Structure 1
Amino acid sequence: MPGTELDVMIERYHHALDAFVRGDPALQKELFSRRDDVTLANPLGPPVRGWHNIEKVMDRAASYLREGKPNTFERLSSYTGPDLAYMVEIERTHAKVDGSPEALPVSLRVTTIFRLEDDQWKVLHRHADPITTPRPAATIVQRS
């Protein structure tokens, strides 16, 4: 993604994700928009909209993680416009998840949308899920 300010934002975003997998959501929170249309779809629950909902979801998700190793990021696609940008990445790390005694591998498929707000890039939307390998079609069926 070209653009000095956006490159700096993405570097901060990746650094904040390293802190997140150690159980600290503070840096990640700083990067999200505070506007009403901000959204987050994390792998532990349904999508939420609005800063106050996102803050609660981030705190909950981070509480399940500790002692995470730095993430690696595989960029699959990206685009930058004058006031919107996106990137699709695979994030990989190892972390102690939900009280596990050992660090386990974690891989997420992530789409992040950034918006220029008051001359600063902010995260407008993040969607992360664990689908990083092919799966059978039956996995999308909800059973009662």
Structure 2
Amino acid sequence: MKSLFSQRDDVVIANPFGPPAKGWKKAAETMDRAATNYRDGEVIGFDRVSEYATTDLGYIIEIERVRSKVGGSDKLVPIALRTTTIFRREKGAWKIVLRHADPITSPRPAASIVGE
């Protein structure tokens, strides 16, 4: 999966396991760390919400659905992530420059954004 990402200093990854990571080195470390949370997974499907592209820039917004063992659990569970992925053309190939994923796929009360 890392080969899909830009390796430039402006690449950003933001996942449910920590703060956003900017720059290729930090983004790669964040991907490695996030991958340790999932085992024996399988893709269920993708629900495309929106997409747009220009000559050199594009994005997709999707709900990604997978089944995986999460953390130390041995139970295969369904996971749905709301994702935003921005692509940039680099040397003739599309590369991810931003990927944001979070588990919010249904309405939530305003109080859900208040930190403790």
- Report the TM-score, using the length of structure 2 for normalisation: 0.97
- Written as runs of structure 1 = structure 2, the 5 A alignment for 1:1-144 is 28-143=1-116
Unaligned runs of 5+ in 1: 1-27
CA RMSD, aligned part only? 0.7
Unaligned runs of 5+ in 2: none
- Report the TM-score, using the length of structure 1 for normalisation: 0.79
Identity across matched positions, percent: 54
Counterpart amino acid of residue 87 in structure 1: I
For 2:46 and 2:56, how far apart are their aligned partners in 1?
23
Q: How many residues align?
A: 116
Counterpart amino acid of residue 35 in structure 2: A
The structure with the largest strand share of the pair is: 2
- Displaced runs of 4 or more, over 2 A: none
